[in-house]
Amino acid sequence: MALHFDTINLFDFVVKEGNGVKGLIESGLSKVPDVYIQPVDQRINKTNNIIDAQIVQLPLIDISELDGPQHDQVEKALVKAAETVGFFHVVNHGLPIQLLEELKDAAHMFFNQPAEKKLVYQKGVSPSPLVVYGGTTVGHKWRDNLMIIYNSDDDAYKYWPDQCKEVVLKYMKTSTELARRILEVLVKHLGVELDDSMEETYMGLRLVSLNYYPTSPDPELTVGIGKHSDIGTLTILVQDDIGGLSIKVQEDGEFGKEGEWIEVPPIPGALLINIGDALQILSNGKYRSVEHRVRNTNTQSRVSVPCFFNPGSMAKIAPLPKVVEKDGKAKYKECLFQDYGSHAFAQGYQGKKNLDFVKITSP
């Protein structure tokens, strides 16, 4: 028989007892609890699982061609995607397809465990503050999550959950190579050689998030994740074949009209990459972070595994001097990444508003 929840025991069930949203749905819940019902302006309209947003093909880039005769065209395609839509798929990316499959399996294995096993990784009791499991009523996302920040291989072997430590570590390492390659191209286009001394600024803080989006009794009322832009430089996303991610078009053009949402269907074996706020700041606005969000479905749960490349907490982020020189003025002021991150987390899901924190408004 389905359980009945009031707000307090809902919080206890989901968060304190570690059942997550997944546990809610497995309890037989047939109605979205009030706390998860989104305000009308945050809802993702859909009828019979067809979202209002259009379905558009994003740029699909064969990254292996960076080492081949198409090198210049691939560089151009990366730069164009980063300057316009801010999201693109890559294939022949160097991450074995088997690794991607194992990663999704590992996510399922972790979330399929009984609540008490997941609870071990909850904030405050987790063996490491860098590994945190949370089902949440806070932020009202219809999603469970395991967040893992990389510190060292030793810590990974000691503290990360057995179900996923090997595969997440491999994923983080191979995607770091890929991210570095892409950042090299993008930064070179700005007139700067990316060398080891800049590593801290571009990817000093790497984290992997395992997302589990359970089916929702009414996907019109819930969101998997509300509209936001990522705060770092680049994000690489592995996802299963369910779909549900949509992005907001920033300017009229081949991907739609400014302000429209487009659905991004997964491409088997491809990785989805997007630009984050820090790269928008470093590039003085040339490369653009993008608002995105995730809808739920009432038929299938979904897993996704983003690897976020962020500046280190103590890294100063500001437009690159070479770009400012060319542009004549800086559009953003310098700040510590940790201050930017704190501001963003305090704001919650506000689209791209976080950038206002550092935006220089003309007198």
Ligand X SMILES: O=C(O)CCC(=O)C(=O)O
Spatial distance between the Cα atoms of 23 and 152, rounded to a whole number of angstroms: 32
Distance of alpha carbon 88 from the chain centroid? 13
> Would you count residue 245 as binding ligand X (CB under 6 A)?
yes
Nearer Cβ to ligand X, position 63 or 237?
A: 237
Minimum Å distance from CB 237 to ligand X?
A: 6
| Contact pick of 137, 163, 215, 239 for ligand X (by CB under 6 A) | 239
Least separation in angstroms between residue 308's CB and ligand X is 8
Q: Which stretch binds ligand X (CB under 6 A): 107-115, 237-245, 255-263, 317-325?
A: 237-245
* Nearest to ligand X of 25, 208 (CB atom): 208
Window 151 to 210, contacts with ligand X (CB under 6 A): 209
Number of H helices, E strands in the chain: 11, 17
246 counts as binding ligand X under rule CB under 6 A: no
How far, in whole angstroms, is CA 232 from its chain's centroid?
A: 10
* Cβ closest to ligand X, residue 181 vs residue 227: 227
Nearer to ligand X, 75 or 230 (CB): 230
Give the residue nearest to ligand X (CB): 304
Contacting residue, 19, 137, 174, 211, with ligand X by CB under 6 A:
211
> Which is closer to ligand X, CB of 292 or CB of 331?
292
Residue count at the site for ligand X (CB under 6 A)? Answer: 10
Residue with tokens 């379905």: 55
- CB nearer ligand X, residue 211 or residue 284: 211
Q: How far is the CB of 294 from ligand X (least distance, A)?
A: 5
Shortest distance (Å) from residue 192 CB to ligand X: 27
Which residues are CB-contacts of 286 (< 8 A; sequence separation ≥ 6)?
Answer: 82, 83, 190, 323
Closest CA to 227 of 164, 270, 291, 170: 291
Q: Which C-beta is closer to ligand X: that of 293 or that of 331? A: 293
Distance CA 20, CA 16 (A): 9
Q: Spell out the alpha helix ranges (H) of 190-233.
A: 199-203
Smallest gap from Cβ 117 to ligand X, in A, equals 22
Q: Does position 21 bind ligand X by CB under 6 A?
A: no
CB of 307 to ligand X, least distance (A): 10
| Minimum CB distance to ligand X, residue 4 (Å) | 30
Cα–Cα dist 322/343, whole Å: 27
Closer by beta carbon to ligand X, 148 or else 225: 225
Closest alpha carbon to 135 in 206, 208, 213: 213
Please state the separation of Cα 247 from the chain's center in Å: 12
| Residue 244: closest CA among 231, 261, 232 | 261
Task: Select from 172, 178, 186, 225 the one that contacts ligand X (CB under 6 A).
Answer: 225
Provide the minimum distance between the beta carbon of 342 and ligand X in the complex, in angstroms, as a whole number.
17
**How far is the C-alpha of 84 from the C-alpha of 91, rounded, in Å?**
20
Contact 163, 108 (CB under 8 A): no
Q: Give residues 247-306 in contact with ligand X (rule: CB under 6 A).
A: 292, 294, 304, 306
102 or 230, CB closer to ligand X? 230
Task: Give residue 273's Cα distance to chain centre.
Answer: 9
Backbone angles phi, psi at 12, to 5 degrees: -60, -45
In a 3-state reduction of DSSP, which class is residue 249?
coil
Among left, alpha and beta (phi > 0; psi -120 to 50; other), residue 50 is: beta
Residue 216, CA distances (Å) to 24, 231, 319 in order: 10, 28, 42
Minimal distance in Å, beta carbon 158 to ligand X?
25
Residues 26-55 that bind ligand X (CB under 6 A): none
> Which positions touch ligand X (CB under 6 A)?
209, 211, 225, 237, 239, 245, 292, 294, 304, 306
